[in-house]
């Protein structure tokens, strides 16, 4: 039952997985607020955010940083757990950042050494993603 990344079904299944995982601490800490627009996806552009330890749909108020990233790079980051994809995308101009770049760096730095619980969550997200 894999679902396309960022589809309504994917978000619903990811929410269940996230709730089952409990409080495992997000990459970058709970105080990070980051808005992301994923472009060139099969469902068009999709707004998502990382805030208060949760990755979900839409943008949040007061986020000091906004990133625009292609769908394939977003999938590598959020599903495959490949933090190097962000640096490669930034260097090639695919990842555009507005605002406080240090927030992106904090998320990337934390993603380089996930806890066992975070790795398990990542694996479960891969299982539900087509």
pLDDT of residue 27: 52
Each residue's pLDDT, cut to its tens digit, for the chain (130 residues) gives: 799 999 999 999 999 998 898 777 655 555 788 999 999 999 999 999 988 777 899 999 999 999 999 999 999 988 988 878 888 998 999 999 999 888 777 777 666 777 788 889 889 999 999 9
- β-pairing, 54-57 vs 33-39, is unpaired
Distances (CA, A) of 68 to 23, 114, 128: 27, 24, 24
Report H helices in 38-100: 71-78, 84-91
Classify each residue of 71-100 as buried b or exposed e, where b means 16 or more C-beta atoms within 10 Å of its C-beta.
Answer: bebbbbbbbebebebbeebbeeebbebeee
pLDDT of residue 115: 79
Quote the CA–CA distance of 63 and 59 in Å, as a whole number.
8
pTM above 0.85, yes or no: yes
DSSP helix/strand/coil, 56: strand
Question: Per-residue DSSP letters for 98-129?
Answer: EE-HHHHHHHHHHHTS--HHHHHHHHHHHHHB
- Domains, the chain: 8-128 (3.30.1050.10)
* Nearest alpha carbon to residue 54 among 26, 20, 76: 26
Half-sphere exposure of 8 (CA within 13 A, CB side): 0
Give phi and psi for 30, each to the nearest 5.
Answer: -75, -15
């Amino acid at each position: 039952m894999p679902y396309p990344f960022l589809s309504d079904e994917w978000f619903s299944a990811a929410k269940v997985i996230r709730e089952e995982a409990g409080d495992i601490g997000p990459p970058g800490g709970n105080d990070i607020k980051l808005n992301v627009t994923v472009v060139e996806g099969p469902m068009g552009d999709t707004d998502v955010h990382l805030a208060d330890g949760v990755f979900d749909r839409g943008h949040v108020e007061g986020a000091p940083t906004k990133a625009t990233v292609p769908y394939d790079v977003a999938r590598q980051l959020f599903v495959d757990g490949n933090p190097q994809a962000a640096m490669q995308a930034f260097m090639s101009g695919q990842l555009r950042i507005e605002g406080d770049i240090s927030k992106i760096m904090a998320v990337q730095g934390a993603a380089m050494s996930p806890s066992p619980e975070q790795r398990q969550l990542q694996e479960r997200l891969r299982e539900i993603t087509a």
